[in-house]
Amino acid sequence: MSDVENTIKAAPFLSKSKSFAGIASAVIGSFWLISNCVEMLDSTEIMVIQYPNGTLVAAVEPGWYMQWFGSVAKYPMRSQFSFSSALDQGAPKNESLKLRFNDGGHANVSGVVSWEMPIDHDNLIKIHRKFGNIKSVEQQIIRPTLESAAYTSGPLMSSTESAAEKRNLLLQYMQDQAKNGTYQTRTVSLKVPDPLTGIEKTVNAAEIVLAGGIPVREQESAAKVFGINLLPMTINQIQYDAAIEAQITQRQVSIQAVQIAQANALKAEQDAITAEKLGQAEAAKAKWAQEAIKAQKITEAQQFLEVATLEAKQAEQYKNKQMLEGQGNAEKKRLEMEANGSRRLGAPNRDRYCGK
């Protein structure tokens, strides 16, 4: 078969292929036009659109926006930054923050902090023009802000204090300075135990300068300058130098020993008080038992006295009765005798008067 005949037979197929290619090109071109003309903003993001004429527009509300062939940069509305010493938390190297305390001790602090992008136009445009993406924001704003806060928080306490009585203050100092700005401090002399020998020594420590009870700021926080809201951070580990760890462990053992001794002394004191109270209770019980016996005997004696008094009164009354009865009988006999005597004396006279 000649080349001409082959060409004629293949013509319908080539025509169809060109039609499909045209349709595909039209579809792709339509998608390209749409994708470069409008942009969808998710509710968890914010974005900055740079139009071909150089105009920058910030978008914070979710929905569709006209792009008009401009470039789009999206940022998460909220993100979390990790500063950890562990290499299994997404970072290829140790990202923990370094602390230096006023006693010369060192530590690395690990944790996380959540932060929120500003939603006002000016700060969004300023962040976009200076940094351009979320990674640069974290490495050039968030991390330096945390490092500065850690650097100025360490000298406000000793290493052992940061592990005990001022542990919460360390977190408070770091959070406040990261959010609002570093403190203005002055140097003071303090006596603290040496982390190696435990012997007390004089060191130069930092003290916060206050004005009306409010800390004076050395400089404003970089996060605050750009309108970024730092949420409360979480510290999950403080890794001290080996010598500091040994001193902290020794201090904890000593504190536990003191606490045990105090608890034993308190228990002994309580036992003594308990014994005293029990003795007083037993004494009171014995006393009241004796009082009960005494009261019983007094009652019996009173009863006996009352009975004896009553019997004495009865005897007195009986005696008086007998005396009265005796006196009555004697008087009766006397009267009878007198009567009998009168009769005897009167009988002769009666006979005389009667002629006898």
Residues 6+ apart with CB under 8 A from 97: 83, 108, 109, 110, 146, 147, 150
Average per-residue pLDDT for the chain: 80
Q: Round to whole Å and give the CA distance between 23 and 37.
A: 21
Of residues 137, 149, 115, the one with CA closest to residue 218? 149
pLDDT exceeds 90 at position 309: no
pLDDT exceeds 90 at position 172: yes
**Which tokens hold the place of 249?**
């462990």
The residues with which 41 forms a beta bridge, in sequence order, are: 63
The percentage of the chain sitting over the pLDDT mark of 70, rounded to a whole number, equals 77
Q: What pLDDT shows up at residue 300? A: 83
| Mean pLDDT confidence for 315-328 | 81
pLDDT exceeds 50 at position 8: no
As a whole number of Å, the CA-based R_g of the chain is: 57
Beta strand ranges found along the chain (DSSP E): 38-41, 45-50, 56-59, 63-66, 71-76, 78-83, 97-100, 106-116, 181-183, 185-193, 200-208, 210-211, 214-215, 217-220, 229-230, 234-240
| Mean pLDDT confidence for 314-328 | 81
**Which tokens hold the place of 289?**
């038992």
Contact 45, 59 (CB under 8 A): no
Q: Round to whole Å and give the CA distance between 195 and 198.
A: 6
pLDDT exceeds 60 at position 340: yes
The residues with which 113 forms a beta bridge, in sequence order, are: 81
Q: What pLDDT shows up at residue 252? A: 62
3 state SS of 74: strand
pLDDT exceeds 70 at position 4: no
Query: Which DSSP state fits 68?
Result: T
**Poorest-confidence range of 42-46, 127-131, 285-289?**
285-289
Q: Tell me whether strands 185-193 and 71-76 are parallel, antiparallel or unpaired.
A: unpaired
Q: Round to whole Å and give the CA distance between 152 and 149.
A: 5
Q: What pLDDT shows up at residue 90? A: 53
- Phi-psi category of 217—alpha, beta or left, where left has phi over 0 and alpha has psi -120 to 50? beta
Is the pTM here over 0.95, yes or no? Answer: no
CB atoms within 10 A of CB 141: 22
pLDDT exceeds 60 at position 70: yes
With 0-12 / 13-18 / 19 or more C-beta atoms within 10 angstroms meaning exposed / middle / buried, residue 65 is: middle
Q: Round to whole Å and give the CA distance between 225 and 220.
A: 7
CA torsion 327-330-335-338 (nearest 10°) is: -140
| Mean pLDDT confidence for 269-295 | 83
The residues with which 201 forms a beta bridge, in sequence order, are: 192
pLDDT tier at 36 (50, 70, 90 boundaries)? Answer: low
Q: What pLDDT shows up at residue 11? A: 47
The percentage of the chain sitting over the pLDDT mark of 90, rounded to a whole number, equals 31
pLDDT tier at 256 (50, 70, 90 boundaries)? Answer: low
| Mean pLDDT confidence for 98-122 | 91
- Type of residue at 166: K
Domain 77-240 bears CATH identifier 3.10.20.520: no
| Mean pLDDT confidence for 36-51 | 86
- Could you report the per-residue pLDDT of 72-101, keeping only the tens digit for each? 989 999 999 999 877 655 556 778 999 999
Handedness of CA 259, 265, 269, 270 (dihedral sign): positive
- Residue 336 φ/ψ, nearest 5 degrees: -65, -40
3 state SS of 212: coil
pLDDT tier at 350 (50, 70, 90 boundaries)? Answer: low
Query: Which DSSP state fits 182?
Result: E
- Could you report the per-residue pLDDT of 127-169, keeping only the tens digit for each? 999 999 999 999 999 999 999 999 999 999 888 888 888 889 9
| Mean pLDDT confidence for 308-333 | 82
Helix (H) or strand (E) holding 120: none
pLDDT exceeds 60 at position 255: no
Q: What pLDDT shows up at residue 248? A: 65
- Could you report the per-residue pLDDT of 178-235, keeping only the tens digit for each? 999 999 999 888 776 665 566 777 777 888 999 999 999 999 999 999 999 999 999 9
- Type of residue at 162: S
